[in-house]
Chain A
Amino acid sequence: MKLLRVKLLLLFVVLLVPSLSLAARIEISAPGEQTIPLALTRLLPMGVGGSQPAIAREFLQVLEGDLELSGLFDLVDPASFMGDADKLGLRRTEIDFYQWRMLGAEALIKGGYRRDGDRLTIELRLYDVITQRLLSGRRYAGKAKAVRKIAHTFADQILKSLTGEKGPFATKIAYISKRSGNKELYMMDVDGHQPVRLTNHRSIVLNPDFSPNRKELIFTSYRNDNPDLFRKEVYTGRESRVSLKPGLNIGGRYSPDGREIALTLSKDKNSEIYLIGTDGTIHRRLTNHYGIDVDPSWSPRGDKIAFVSDRRGNPNVFIVDVRSRDVTRLTYEGKYNATPAWSPKGDRIAFSRLDEGVFNIFTIRPDGTDERQVTFGDGSKEHPRWSPDGRFLVYSLDRRGSGKSIWVMRADGTGARQISPLGENDSHPAWSDRW
């Protein structure tokens, strides 16, 4: 009996083993496609109001530019589009996803517009072609001239849908330009369009910085013969002097909560980093060294500030703890390290370094590891600043003979593109927060 049981057990095991075939283990450690194939169709007119090809064209051009800069997408060639691209249907059931799948698209943007006098309405949809799921749907209404802003805003929304974080395209870039003959403060869109002059000091304006929570800027101006710190409200145009201490009042940077400003003052004959209130009163002195301390940049948590000092010989980047005032050295290489900018996520610090007569942009972790050069080639690249999402860097490029211009690139140094024209000596860019 016992033997029979053993035999039965053995038989069971023998029968069971083939059915429990082991799963083959596979590791896939990188995607085959490192971009998302996206089909971007042109806007089609909706209802009455007729066709306005200029609106559709401008919208497409702006959106395409933003999406290309993001580096996320591989845009499907519009020449290969089939019949569905010419159908207005925006609902899931009205779209022939099979056509888009045949073209290899994984994401699809369709939209329509209606113009009623000066009023413009644009409806947009972002679909996942594979799962046929609506990822984002928006209706924007505004004046006809708002078409660029609508395109930038929808580009931000696309990034939110596909990465979980909004894009920075509907923000602004402030910069200093000499196009009027003097160095004045300007502001433009992220793609360089719609530049607006903000100051008329007929002097030297420098180092702009956006307030994190209000539509205003601080900057240094020599209008009163001394480099004083000014504040300017963008929409009202109201302007006031925040800090007018004797000597330097330069490099002002708002704290992440917007309550304080870190800047360099030289009222005591030596340039040091101070914290002041938005009313200009000095809160604290952060550094105390006979060396020159300039260019403060807040960590996103507001507990540390990176700055440049020559206290160890050549100018290098240091970090000071706001509470304890302990200073640590960040960079050791290069003859001249300048203009640090702490990323909004806090994971890296960008700065420019002089090497062989040319400045290039580098990034480094706040603990001093993983230093990477992100720009190469001719011309000095200076004054790097991060986009509010930390995906991009804006900087000025000085090419001998053609002057300075503003450029934007991805944080890894790819996709660099010029956004301000040559010959106007544009420099000192600063990227606004969500606008």
Chain B
Amino acid sequence: MLLVSLLLHLLVPILYYSPLFPKKAIKKPPVYRVNLVNKIVKNPQAGRPEATVAKKKPKVKKKPKVKPKPIPVKPKAKPKVKPKPKPKPKPKPKVVKPKVKPKSKPVVKPEPTKPKVSKAQENTLAKRLKELREKKQRESAEQARKEKLAALKAAAVAESEKVDSPISDAPVGMVDGKGDEAGVRATAFVQEFIQQQWSFSKYQAVGTPEAEVKLFYNAEGTLLHYRFVKKSGHEIFDESLARAIAKSKQLSQPLPEAMEFDIFFNLKDMLDKP
């Protein structure tokens, strides 16, 4: 009985590897390595610490033991390295050559071309791994910093909301304002800006003039056009508005988007004062 059981157990793998059960070869797709952090730019190393290291490459020459010269990551250094090293293995310059113009592909690694893993490549891989680890550390530090900043912002917003302002949506910079660093609302900003450009004396006022003007601004804060929806009938008053609008042709800061404003001008707050 025991023997039967043993035979049956043996039979299963035999049958599995027999031609009765053909196995489909699973095709593995080629593996590409893409650097997601750094954009492909004309000069990817400019202004980065790595670039400085690359410039110092000549120092490396002093060490005679440095064999793995043709590291493809540092394209700039290569032309300089070329004349010095004598013990160059032949296949290596071939790898370097396509890299002479480093503008286009600093990120893509043509690794699969080499079937054999040389010592130099092992070193390169080790260095690369080290770099990746460092990058990960940097990223995690950056993430932590961002989280901290977000927490601080949230605290500031909570604090600003505690300010009891008599004017809802009072803009930043006003005595009773309670804005945050996100900035002033576009309408409040435009209201303030145009009001500042408007000069009119109470000694010019006749009656209680009111006018309505439509203004169309693009996102850059440039006045595209305007029109009087309703004139006050008081020529001096209407002229003062036209002057204010002429002075507001260009806002001092852009708007979040192209906007249209319907502005009602009157003298309520000026004439009410004795």
Indicate with 1 or 0, residue by residue over B197-208, a CB within 8 angstroms of chain A CB atoms.
111111110100
Q: Are B236 and A21 touching (Cβ within 8 A)?
A: no
Question: How far is A73 from B200 in the complex, measured between Cα atoms in Å?
Answer: 10
Which of B196, B203, B240, B262 makes the CB contact (< 8 A) with A23? B262
Contact B261 A24 (CB under 8 A): yes
Query: How big is chain B's contact interface, by range?
Result: 35 or more
A153 to B68, CA, bound (A): 95
Q: Is B16 part of the binding interface, using a Cβ–Cβ cutoff of 8 Å? A: no
Using known A-B contacts A28-B191, A28-B195, determine if residue A34 contacts B270 with beta carbons closer than 8 Å. yes
Write out the residue numbers on chain A whose beta carbons fall within 8 Å of the beta carbon of B196: 32-33
Contact of B199 among A35, A131, A372 (CB under 8 A): A35
B246 at the interface (CB under 8 A from A): yes
Contacts of A23 in B (CB 8 A): 214, 260-262
Q: Which residues of B contact A163 (CB under 8 A)?
A: 203-204, 236
- Is there contact, CB below 8 Å, between B243 and A30? no
| Residues of chain A in range 16-32 having any CB-CB distance to chain B below 8 Å | 21-32
Q: How many A-B residue pairs have CB under 8 A?
A: 106
Decide if A30 touches B269 in the complex (CB within 8 Å). Answer: yes
B242, CB-defined interface residue at 8 Å: yes
Q: Is B262's CB under 8 angstroms from A31's CB?
A: no
* Contact assessment for B203 and A391 in the assembled complex, using a CB-CB cutoff below 8 Å: yes
How far apart sit A29 and B198, CA to CA, in the bound complex (Å)?
11
In the complex, A33→B191 CA distance in Å? Answer: 14
Tell me whether A70 and B270 are in contact (CB under 8 A). Answer: no
Within 8 A of B (CB), among A145-174: 162-164
Interchain CB contact under 8 A, B199 and A33: yes
- Decide yes or no: A24 and B264 within 8 Å by CB, A30-B270, A130-B246, A131-B242 being known contacts: no
In chain B between 56 and 74, which residues have their CB closer than 8 angstroms to a CB of chain A? none
Q: How far is the CA of A30 from the CA of B274 in the complex (A)?
A: 14
Task: Give residues of chain A (369-385) contacting chain B, Cβ–Cβ below 8 Å.
Answer: 372
Closest Cβ–Cβ distance, residue A156 to chain B (whole Å): 14
A192 interface contact, C-beta 8 A: no
How many chain A residues touch the partner (CB < 8 A)?
A: 32
CB pair A29 B199 closer than 8 Å: no
**Contacts A31-B195, A37-B199 given: A24-B262 contact, CB under 8 Å?**
yes
Chain A residues, CB < 8 A from B261: 23-26
Contacts of B239 in A (CB 8 A): 128
CB-based nearest B residue for A38: B199
Chain B residue, CB-CB nearest to A133: B239
Interface contact B203-A26, CB-CB below 8 Å: no
Question: B198 is contacted by which of A28, A37, A70, A410 (Cβ under 8 Å)?
Answer: A28
Of all chain A residues, the one with the shortest Cβ separation from B270 is: A30
Interface status of A327 (Cβ within 8 A of chain B): no
Q: Which positions 226-266 of chain B face chain A at CB distance < 8 Å?
A: 234-236, 239-240, 242-244, 246-247, 259-266
Known: A32-B197, A33-B196, A164-B235. 13 other contacts (CB 8 A): A26-B187, A26-B191, A26-B262, A26-B263, A27-B264, A29-B267, A31-B198, A32-B195, A34-B202, A106-B243, A163-B204, A164-B234, A412-B274
Taking beta carbons and an 8 Å cutoff, which residues of B are in contact with A? Answer: 186-187, 190-191, 194-204, 206, 214, 234-236, 239-240, 242-244, 246-247, 259-270, 274
In the complex, the 6 A-B pairs of residues with the closest C-beta atoms, listed nearest first:
A30-B269, A33-B199, A32-B196, A23-B260, A31-B200, A31-B198
